[in-house]
Amino acid sequence: AQTVTQSQPEMSVQEAETVTLSCTYDTSENNYYLFWYKQPPSRQMILVIRQEAYKQQNATENRFSVNFQKAAKSFSLKISDSQLGDTAMYFCAFMSLNNAGNMLTFGGGTRLMVKP
């Protein structure tokens, strides 16, 4: 079974600054996807970024980028030029490609507060 750990329950950052959210995972598999989801106060889960494990290049989506370290089983999210709208819960998630059901294993979440 896979586990996903987010060691930072809460974080804060000043507007326009950069913040990095940590995520580690444990798996014996080699083929998988990793995701970061954002859940703002509206509670709508939003896919932020996705990384395929077979790709060495780190995924980027505008101000969001990841640092994927496969050997270390680490998948951190960097948010650049933080905006007030980035205030949300952030969940790291794992999906095995060996699991035909596309099931996600979530971390416990990190609550990010962007301060003006």
Partner 1 sequence: GAVVSQHPSRVICKSGTSVKIECRSLDFQATTMFWYRQFPKQSLMLMATSNEGSKATYEQGVEKDKFLINHASLTLSTLTVTSAHPEDSSFYICSASPGPAGQYFGPGTRLTVT
**Interaction site with partner 1 (CB under 8 A):** 33, 35, 37, 42-47, 50, 91, 95, 97, 101-104, 106-109, 111
Q: Based on CB atoms, which residue is closest to partner 1, 16 or 46? A: 46
Angle at 26 between CA 9 and CA 60, to 5 degrees: 70
Q: Based on CB atoms, which residue is closest to partner 1, 14 or 31? A: 31
Q: Provide the 10 A C-beta neighbour count for residue 105.
A: 18
Q: How many CA atoms lie within 13 A of 87 on its CB side?
A: 11
Q: Based on CB atoms, which residue is closest to partner 1, 13 or 95? A: 95
